[in-house]
């Protein structure tokens, strides 16, 4: 299995709703990431989990709450979002760990969740 699976593919939610995005990989990768991508813009890093621990939070508002239940799963819990949070949310994974020089640890991206906040 060489894929990162994200569900749902599309999500429409109101500003008072609570929803969760899910991400799963079975490649034995120990680093997992959430990125947000607006139209015609590059992906922007939100969170990094390394060995199931949150290692980077890029000053993301608390209405986004990540969770890593185990080494294969990564969730993003959403609450009280704003219309400007509408975007493509990408999950990615990589081998992780300290690779030192020369480590080819490219990301494998999921197909994303297209989120619309109304």
Residues that bind other proteins (CB under 8 A): 31, 33, 40-45, 48, 50, 55-56, 88, 90, 94, 96, 98-112, 114
- CB closer to other proteins, 81 vs 91: 91
> Quick one: which of 77, 25, 74 has its CA closest to 54?
74
Nearest to other proteins of 17, 71 (CB atom): 71
Least distance in angstroms from the C-beta of 94 to other proteins: 5
In the bound complex, what is the minimum distance in angstroms from residue 100's beta carbon to other proteins? 6
Do residues 45 and 58 lie in contact, with contact meaning Cβ atoms separated by under 8 Å?
yes
Phi-psi region at 77: left, alpha or beta (left = phi > 0; alpha = psi -120 to 50) = beta
């Amino acid at each position: 299995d060489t894929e990162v699976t994200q569900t749902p593919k599309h999500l429409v939610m109101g500003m008072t709703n609570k929803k969760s995005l899910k991400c799963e990989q079975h490649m034995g990768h120990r680093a997992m990431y959430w990125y947000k991508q607006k139209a015609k813009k590059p992906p922007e890093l939100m969170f990094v989990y390394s060995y199931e621990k949150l290692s980077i939070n890029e000053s993301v508002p608390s209405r986004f709450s990540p969770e890593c239940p185990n080494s294969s799963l990564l969730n993003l819990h959403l609450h009280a979002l704003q219309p400007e949070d509408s975007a493509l949310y990408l999950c990615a994974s990589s081998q992780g760990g300290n690779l030192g020089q020369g480590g080819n640890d490219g990301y494998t991206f999921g197909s994303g969740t297209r989120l619309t906040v109304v």
